[in-house]
Amino acid sequence: MPNSPQFKSASFSPSAGYAAGFAMPERAHAKSPKGLTREVIESLSTQKQEPAWMLAARLNAFEIFKQKPLPAWGGDLSKIDFDDLYYYVRPDERVQQNWNDVPADIKETFDRLGVPEAEKQFLAGSGAQYDSEAVYHNIQKHLTDKGVIFLDTDTALKKYPELFKEYFGTVVPPADNKFSALNSAVWSGGSFIYIPKCVRVELPLQAYFRINTERMGQFERTLIIADEGSYVHYVEGCFIKGTRVVTQKKYVPIEDIKIGDKVLTHKGRFKKVYHIQKRPYTGDLYSVEIYGDATQKMQATAEHPFLTVRRTHKNERNTHWKKEWKPCNQLTKGDYLLIPINQTVKTSNQHKITIPLGRGRHGFKNFVITLPSTLSFFRLVGYYLAEGSVSSGHYLNFSFHENEREYINEIKKLLNEIFPEYRYREVHYRANHSTSIVVNSTALARVFVASFGKNAFERHIPIWMLEEQPSKQRGLIHTFFNGDGNYYCQQTKYGRKEIFRLSTVSPNMVRQLRDILLRLGIVGAINCQKDRGKNRRPMYNVCIGGEQAQNFGMLVEQKIKSKLNKKKRATMFYLDTNFAYVPIKKISHKKTVNKTVYNFSVRDDESYIANNVAVHNCTAPAYTTNSLHSAVVEIVVKRGARVRYTTIQNWSKNVYNLVTKRAYVYADGLMEWVDGNLGSALTMKYPSAVLLERGARGTVLSLAMAGKNQHQDAGGKVIHVAPYTSSMIISKSVSYGGGRASYRGLVKVAPKAEHARCFVSCDALILDAASRADTYPTMDIRARECNISHEASVSKIGEEQLFYLQSRGLDETQARSLIVNGFLEPIVKELPMEYAVELNRLIQLEMQGAVG
């Protein structure tokens, strides 16, 4: 559901053998002794300078903790030694609001965990907790102006004591269970969020948690209050249909991108797409036009990140080029967007292509034709792209004006050198004063059609030529210019105008020509002539002028003076070895409703090229571990408000992850829990929603993976107190390597909750005979009229499935991962991209150990 306030959390800490399982040198400004005593709690409260009522609440919770027994259901908790834990470690003196002020070693920790700079910049607010205390908290100013509060919980207690006291412990009281009592006694850090009435937050609020100290217990406390009619509308950055993306084969509309496609990233290399998103969008849609390409404008959602350089001089080009990711709604006219240059260079002496050739009544057979990857062949291809054609499927033609003898003779020379086995003839046409070189070869005709396109509109340059040595590519550009290029030089009232142009009716190839020029150190701008008469396609041009004209003139052997109109040649563009920097010409925005938008995730780099420029796809954080995690999350969703809380966690295999998460939902409010659990020795977590008033809704989406020595006991709870309330719980679990996954759920319908509706679905996948899956549903229905349904399924991977996939070239790990991804895909595809990215990464990480 798009219009829902969201809070996200990700947790970190060291673990042997885990990708993020490193530990930094301990940085403790203050550290309690091991064990939990009244003195430890009093010292903790004194160091935090808390009011007397909070110390009293802590001590009361401590007494409840001592009296409460460990839960006898769920997993085995007997190995937890509460006297062998540190309950409070403070890494620094104060919370910073500027990331640059955070101590370097702590910043390095989060950088090593993979928290990307882009994500730090595109959140409405962001927080980071290191051991017991927050070290960083920040929120965008415009949200503060609206009255939104996003603070670490300790600071919130100091700044807003009355608001804090009104809600603290009301949703999850200390007496709820042993671990809620423990958290209430020793809580430290976490996040406090208040969203005022009818306030809309367009970007997610997010917190990162890291435990660095060995045997450290983390007890963060999160309290969220969404006032009446408020919500955080989480909007994933996306583009509209028709946005062209650079793939290895050609420029492809974003709606046609598929998983497995290789796309160019901001690092100038091709990486695979591994997740696709398509969704309706309501909000501001931004249109951005650049000077480098007049044929396209980018239309993106407000927060989609662009790689940009801020303009520092109003009327002059920048002298410094500091790159940063900025959301679309923060771009301004004159700022520079970046066109990445493909950095791949793959050179060879030949290239093989397979084509079908007829054998009379015996049908067709595939033949392999070897093409030389030489400068001469690149020059021949340049002529074909400009002046070539294929007729009747058997004849390869190169056509020129009869006076262009220099080019005609070069074609003959190149054919004699490259393809001496093929015969050609020179044909003259008096009616239009043209001359054609015609090669009578079905094989060669089909090779050129397959490699470069049959007609002018379909022209393209294959990837192997786009990534060859620049010295060969110079030959292609030179001969293309001989055929379909021109030099424009004319005196205007503003002075002399001088431009080189490469022209084509192929919208795909015009950008490929521009891309090759970038590899040659030349920036060209693209424009289009549309009004060319009836039944004539638009003409696209790559235009090279200003200081760039000198370099291009050298390439095509035409001397160009260093000055124009008695001034040194200048250009608005800038070029280095990695990027072309092009200024924004115009930027505008308008409201749109239910517009279909697209986005996708890219392996490693998490970026791609949309309508020429580099954009990010808002990736997700990395993950790690701790020793005991016992958090409490309290959420109050008032009338008409919406909240989404997402947690994706991958704990180390010795962690006890014991969390109480509950929301009170009032009339017409909506609470959405998205909960992913991987890793840990034991997880016991059941996000719950108490539907208190008519029209309240709650959903729980729970995913769990349990491997060797792991028990994931997860699920969800909904309690219908009022009539006409609705809820849904969807649970999927995977167990492998002897792991155990359990669904534990509760649906309770009070006597007055007439016409309540609830749907529960729990599916389990078992990967081997040593693993186990359990279902523990509880239905307590006391209303006379309601609609409650529950369905469950357990399935196993069959040997036939594995054999089939392995016979297709996959190893056993890959085959099992594919089956798991397919099992989870119906849920994962419904998630916003950021959550799907997190889950997919963690699933891949877990499945590495699923075999053996």
Chain segment 184-242, per-residue pLDDT in tens:
999 987 888 898 998 877 555 555 444 434 444 567 888 999 999 886 544 445 778 89
pLDDT grade for 390, boundaries at 50, 70 and 90: very high
DSSP structural state of residue 515: H
Once rounded to an integer, what is the mean pLDDT over residues 268-285?
A: 84
Residue 110 pLDDT more than 90?
no
Higher model confidence: residue 356 or residue 755?
Answer: 755
Contact 697, 838 (CB under 8 A): no
- Lookup result for tokens 């001469």: 376
Does pLDDT of 304 surpass 90?
no
Mean pLDDT on 286-291: 95
How far apart, in whole angstroms, are the C-alpha atoms of residue 404 and residue 401?
Answer: 6
pLDDT tens per residue, range 244-261? 999 988 889 999 999 889
Using alpha carbons, list the distances in angstroms from residue 411 to 300, 430, 470.
46, 20, 22
Band (pLDDT 50/70/90 cuts) for residue 88 is: low
Architecture of domain 350-454: Roll (3.10)
**Burial class of 262 by CB neighbour count within 10 A (0 to 12, 13 to 18, 19+):** middle
| Selected residue with higher pLDDT from 130 and 801 | 801
pLDDT score for 605: 82
Q: How far apart are CA 700 and CA 689, in angstroms?
A: 8
Q: pTM of the full predicted structure?
A: 0.64
pLDDT value at position 757? 97
What mean pLDDT is reported for the chain?
A: 83
Phi, psi of 348 (to 5 degrees): -155, 170
φ/ψ (deg, to 5) at 83: -90, -5
Residue 322 is given by DSSP the state -
Q: pLDDT by residue (tens digit) across 428-437?
A: 999 999 999 9
- What is the reported pLDDT for 627? 60
Which residue spans within 16-68 are E strands per DSSP? 30-31
Q: Read off the pLDDT band of 520 (50, 70, 90).
A: very high
Per domain, the residue ranges of the chain are: 6-234+628-685, 239-343+581-616, 350-454, 478-577, 798-852
Percentage with pLDDT > 70 across the chain: 81
Where residue 744 falls among pLDDT bands split at 50, 70, 90?
Answer: very high
Tens digits of residue pLDDT in 132-148: 444 334 555 667 788 88
Q: Hey, do 350-454 and 478-577 end up sharing a CATH topology, with the first three levels equal?
A: yes
Provide the pLDDT for residue 839: 63
Asked if residue 100 has pLDDT above 70, the reply is: no
Residue 475 is encoded by which pair of tokens? Answer: 């030959």
What would be the CATH architecture of the domain defined by 239-343+581-616?
Beta Complex (2.170)
Q: What is the pLDDT of residue 494?
A: 75
Closest CA to 652 of 20, 73, 7, 6: 20
Q: Does domain 478-577 have CATH number 3.40.50.970?
A: no
pLDDT for the residue numbered 518 = 97
pLDDT in tens, 824-844: 776 676 565 555 665 666 666
Among 721, 720, 714, 717, which Cα is nearest to 729's?
Answer: 717
Lowest mean pLDDT segment, chosen from 338-347, 357-366, 421-430, 638-647: 357-366
Tell me the per-residue pLDDT of 315-337, one tens digit each, with 9 for 90 and over: 889 999 999 888 888 899 999 99
Confidence band of 104 (pLDDT split at 50, 70, 90): low
